[in-house]
Amino acid sequence: MSTTFQLDTSTSRANPTPAPMKRLTVPAIRQRKKDGVTAEPVVMLTAYTARQAQLLDAHCDLLLVGDSLGQVIYGLPSTIPVTLEMMANHAAAVVRGSYHTVVAVDMPFGSYEKSPEQAFENASYLLKQSGAAAVKLEGGAAMAETVAFLNARGIPVMGHVGLTPQAVNILGGYMARGRSDAEAQKIVSDAVALDEAGAFAIVVEGVVEPIAIEITKAVSCLTIGIGGSAQCDGQVLVTEDMLGMFERVPRFVKRYENIAETIERAVVRYAQEVKDRTFPAPEQTYQPKG
CB of 143 to ligand KIV, least distance (A): 14
66 vs 139, beta carbon nearer ligand KIV: 66
Number of residues that bind ligand KIV (CB under 6 A): 11
Residue span 20-39 as binding mask against ligand KIV, x where in contact by CB under 6 A, dash where not: --------------------
Which residues are part of the catalytic machinery? Answer: 205
Distance CA 53, CA 219 (A): 30
Using CB positions, name the residue nearest to ligand KIV: 66
Question: Is 238 a residue that touches ligand KIV (CB under 6 A)?
Answer: yes
Task: By CB under 6 A, tell whether 67 contacts ligand KIV.
Answer: yes
157 forms part of the interface with ligand KIV (CB under 6 A): no
Query: Cβ-count burial of 250 within 10 angstroms (0-12 exposed, 13-18 middle, 19+ buried)?
Result: middle
b/e for 177-213, b at 16 or more Cβ within 10 A? bbeeeeebebbbebbbbbbebbbbbbbbbbbbbebbb
Residue from 226, 232, 242, 243 touching ligand KIV (CB under 6 A): that is: 226
Q: How far apart are the C-alpha atoms of 277 and 79, rounded to whole Å? A: 43
The answer for residues whose C-beta is within 8 angstroms of residue 254's C-beta and 6 or more apart is: 237, 242
Q: By CB under 6 A, is residue 106 in contact with ligand KIV?
A: yes
242 binds ligand KIV (CB under 6 A): no
For residue 51, report the phi and psi dihedrals to the nearest 5 degrees.
-65, -40
Q: Is position 236 an interface residue for ligand KIV (rule: CB under 6 A)?
A: yes
As a whole number of angstroms, the distance between CA 211 and CA 208 comes to 6
Q: What is residue 122's three-state secondary structure?
A: helix
> Would you call the peptide bond into 156 cis, given omega within 30 degrees of 0 as the criterion?
no
Contact window for ligand KIV (CB under 6 A) among 66-74, 145-153, 167-175, 183-191: 66-74
Do residues 193 and 140 lie in contact, with contact meaning Cβ atoms separated by under 8 Å? yes
Pattern 158-197, ligand KIV, x by CB under 6 A = ----------------------------------------
Nearest distance from residue 90's CB to ligand KIV, in Å? 11
In the complex, minimum distance from the CB of residue 164 to ligand KIV, in angstroms, rounded to a whole number: 9
For residue 106, the minimal CB distance to ligand KIV (Å) is 5
Closest separation in Å from C-beta 109 to ligand KIV: 11
* Rounded CA separation 56/254 (Å): 17
Measured from the CB atom, the residue of 95 and 236 that comes closer to ligand KIV is 236
Q: In the complex with ligand KIV, which residue's Cβ is closer, 207 or 238?
A: 238
Our finding on whether 66 is near ligand KIV (CB under 6 A) is yes
Quick one: which of 185, 253, 256 has its CA closest to 214?
A: 185
3-state secondary structure of 46: strand
* Residue numbers at the binding site for ligand KIV (CB under 6 A): 46, 64, 66-68, 106, 203, 205, 226, 236, 238
